[in-house]
Structure 1
C-alpha cells in the first residue's frame, strides 16, 4: 500500500518481543497498528473514560480498538477472509475517531488516525456524501444556498436515502459568519489570535462573539484572520487526505504571520483546534506545521494557563438564581486532558454551581450521527450515560464546547448547550 498519511513517527516503533507481530506489509502504518499488544484494556467493562464508544454499544471484540487492530494486521498480512474483511469494514465505519484509545490504551493506540488512513485506502472513488462533507467548510460561506439545499434534503426521504443520511437527524441551519470588530488598542495583557473556524462561524457564531468579549475584557488585544479558513478536519475524517492537506496548508499560510509575531492561536471548537496539534502533523506539511501546532491552544486551555500564572484579570460577577451547570466534554478535549482546564476556568466564576458528566462519546461525532448506517449507534451512544444523566437534572444548563455534542443533545430532547465562552461572557461585570 502507498500510505496517504505520514507515519514516520512510528519508524522506530515496535522494538522488543511484544511487537513480534508487526505485519509484513504496510511499512510504518503497520507499526502504528502493531502498537496494540493485546493488553485488552479496551475490553474491560468500565463506566468511566471514553474508550471505546462503539464497543460499548456493540459489545463485540471486533468493534474495540484491539479487535480492529487484530483484523487490520491480518489484512496487511494477506490472511483476512471475506467475512473478516466485511466485519472490519463495519467496525471501521462504527469508529467515531474519539481518540479515547490514544489516551486510555496502555500503549496509546491511535485508532482515529489509523481509521483515516484505512478510509483513504478504500476511497479511491469517493461518494458524493464524502465529497460534500469534505468540502462543507467552503460551502458554508454561502449560507442561503446551503439552507435551501438542507431544507430540500430534510423534506425528501428520497434524497436522504440517495445520500445515505440519517432521516432522524435533520441537517442544521447555517448562519452567516459573525461580523467581529476587535479593539485595535494595544492589549495590556498581550496579543493573541482568535481563530474562528468554519463550524463556529456558521453554526455557533454566538460562541465567537462571547470569546472575543471575554478575551478583550481580560485585557488582550485580539487578532482575527482576514479570511475564513478550515483546517481540513472534515476532509480528513472522510479519508480525502489530498483535500485535507490543501485546506490545512491554506490555514497554515494564513496563521503563519501570527506565529512569527509569537501570538498564540486560540480556538473554540475542540475537533478543529486540536487537529492543529495532532492530525496536522501527519499531513507532511513541514516545519511550519510543527510551529503552528506548538502555538495552538483551546480557549479554556489558554485561560487556565493565565490563571495558573496569576495573570488573568477577568471581571466576573455572581448571578443570583442562576441554574446549575453540567459539563459534557468533547472526546478530543478529554483525549488531551483539557477537562482540567475547564474545571480551573469554571472555578473562577463567582457562585457558579457546576459539575462534570461522566460519559463517553455523545454519538454526534462530526458527520457520524448524520450517516444512515450509523444512526442506531449514534443514538445508543448518547443513551448510554449522557442523556440519562442530563434527565436527572432537567433544570441544569449544559456546557458542551463541541458543536456536534450540542447538536446531538438538542436533537434527542436534551437542553440547548452553551460554549464555556458564553457562560463567562454572561458573568462579565
Structure 2
C-alpha cells in the first residue's frame, strides 16, 4: 500500500501515494483534501497490496487525501479468534499508541499537535478494507479495552470502503460498470457490519445480481488447520460454489474478504476482487 512520500510525513500519517494524481472518473468528489486514514491490515499490506493501491486510486478520484499510519498497527483478530485475549489487549494498546504517534496526539490532555481538542484525537475517518478487521475494531476493540477512551474513538471512526464513499463523498458518482456480479458477502458483514452501503454502491455502478450468503468455509485460519479441509469444502458447497457455477459468463467475481478470495481461487478456479478493485478498473 505504501509508497515513498515526498518530504516529511504530515497530518495523520504517511501519504499513501506521492503527489496526488486524480483519476478522471465520472463526476466530482468532496473536494481535494478530505482526510482518510487507510488501515494497512495484514492481508492487504503483505498478501494483496493490489487491493490497497486500487482503493487509494478510487479514494483520490472521489476527493480524499489518503494517509496510512506511520507505525505497524493490528486489529488483534488473530489473537481474539484463538482465545489469546491478553495478547490481543497488548497488541491493541500498541496499535492505539501507534495511531497517537501518527496523529500527533497528546493523550494526557486530549489535544493534538495542531492544538485541536476533543473527538479529533484519532483520525475522524479510518477506512478498513478487510471486513474481519473492520468488525474486530468496531466491536472487539472497545469490548477488550473498555476503560481506554481511545478504543471507543477508534471504533467509532471505522468505516468500510462503501460506507466511506457513501457518507463522506455522497456526490461522487462511481464509474458505470454495467455487468452482472457474483461472489461472496463476508461473514463479518452478515454478522456485524452489514452490507447495505455495499449494495447501494454496486447498484450505482451498474453491478447487478446478488453475492452469495453463507460462509466461504475458509473462515480465517479454520480451513487451513489439519482435519478441517472436508468441512471447509462442505461449507463452500452450501452456497458459494453453486452460485459461482450458476453465474452468468460475463459476471465479475467480487469478494471483499481475503479468506473468501482465497477459497474462491482454490475451489472455484477464478479470481475474485475487492469492490475497490472493480471500481478502480472502471475509472
Deviation of 1:228 (Å) = 2.9
1:214 maps to which of 48, 58, 62: 58
Q: 1:271 is matched with which residue?
A: 132
| Contact kept? 1:362, 1:405, Cα under 8 Å | yes
Partner of 2:190: 334
Task: Map 1:401-412 onto structure 2 (within 5 A).
Answer: 401-412=256-267
Structure 1 residue runs without a partner (length 5+): 1-176
Query: Is residue 231–residue 272 contact of structure 1 (8 Å, CA) maintained in 2?
Result: yes
User: Shift of residue 369 of structure 1?
Assistant: 0.5
Superimposed CA distance per residue, residues 184-205 of structure 1 (whole angstroms, 9 cap, x where no aligned partner): 7996362111111111111110
Aligned partner of 1:163 in structure 2 is none
Contact 2:217 2:234 in 1 (8 A): yes
Please state whether the residue corresponding to 2:228 is helix, strand or coil: helix
Structure 1 residue 261 displacement after superposition: 5.8
Q: Which runs of 5+ in 2 are unaligned?
A: 4-15, 22-29, 104-119
Give distance in 1, aligned partners of 2:31 and 2:176.
26
Matched, 1:294 2:156: yes
Tell whether the 8 Å contact from 1:274 to 1:298 is kept in structure 2 after alignment. no
Q: Normalization by structure 2: what TM-score?
A: 0.79
Deviation at 1:271, TM superposition (A): 0.5
Question: Counterpart of 2:215?
Answer: 361
Residue 181 of structure 1 corresponds to 17
What is the DSSP-based 3-state SS (H/G/I as helix, E as strand, rest coil) of the residue aligned with 1:221? strand
Does residue 223 in structure 1 map to residue 85 in structure 2?
Answer: no
- In the alignment of these two chains, the number of paired residues is 244
The corresponding residue for 1:195 is 39
C-alpha RMSD of the superposition: 2.3
C-alpha separation between the residues in 2 aligned to 1:384 and 1:364?
A: 13
Q: In the alignment, is the contact (CA less than 8 A) between 2:183 and 2:253 conserved in 1?
A: yes
Indicate whether 1:377 and 2:231 are aligned: yes
CA contact (8 A) 1:198 1:228 kept: no
Q: Is the 8 A contact 2:261 2:271 kept in 1?
A: yes
The equivalent residue for 1:14 is none
In structure 2, how many angstroms separate the alpha carbons of the residues matched to 1:190 and 1:318? Answer: 23
Larger radius of gyration: 1
Note if contact 1:301-1:338 (Cα within 8 Å) is conserved in structure 2. no
CA distance in 1, matches of 2:183, 2:242: 14
Once the two structures are TM-superposed, the CA of residue 327 in structure 1 deviates from its matched residue by 4.0
Q: TM-score scaled by structure 1?
A: 0.53
CA offsets 1:318-373 (integer angstroms, 9 cap, x no match): 45xx7522242101112235311111111221xx3421134211111110110113
Question: Which one of the candidate residues 121, 139, 145 is aligned to 1:260?
Answer: 121
Q: Is the 8 A contact 2:20 2:60 kept in 1?
A: no
Cα distance in structure 2, aligned partners of 1:413 and 1:184: 37
In 1, are the aligned partners of 2:58 and 2:276 still within 8 Å (CA)?
Answer: yes
Residue 312 in structure 1 maps to residue 171 in structure 2: yes
Distance in 2 (alpha carbons) for counterparts of 1:198 and 1:211: 15
Query: Is the Cα–Cα contact under 8 Å of residues 179 and 208 in structure 2 kept in the other structure?
Result: no
Partners in 2 of 1:188 and 1:181 — Cα distance?
14
Give the C-alpha shift of residue 284 in structure 1: 2.5
More helix by share: 1
CA distance in 2 between partners of 1:290 and 1:353 (Å): 35
Match of residue 283 from structure 1: 144
Match of 1:36 in 2: none
Structure 2 residue aligned with 1:343: 199
